[in-house]
Amino acid sequence: MARDQAVSDEFERRGWTVLRIWECELKKKNLPELLAKLNSLFMI
């Protein structure tokens, strides 16, 4: 996970917004949490 953070930090330093979605978050039971995460990023 340290590598993931380092990569995210580098993208953010370059002005990108980083949203990491793990495979387990794509399961139907996690849909409400995933949609909330996306909504907060896109403010929709």
Domain spans, the chain: 2-42
pLDDT given at position 15: 96
pLDDT given at position 19: 87
The answer to whether the CB of 8 falls within 8 A of the CB of 18 is: yes
pLDDT given at position 9: 96
pLDDT given at position 12: 96
Question: Scanning the structure block, which residue is given the tokens 């996306």?
Answer: 38
Considering only CA atoms, which of 27, 29, 11 is closest in space to residue 19? 11
User: What is the mean pLDDT, run by run of 10 residues, along the chain of 44 residues?
Assistant: 93 94 88 90 76
pLDDT given at position 14: 98
Q: What is the pTM of this model?
A: 0.61
Dihedral angle of Cα 22, 18, 10, 3, to the nearest 10 degrees: -10
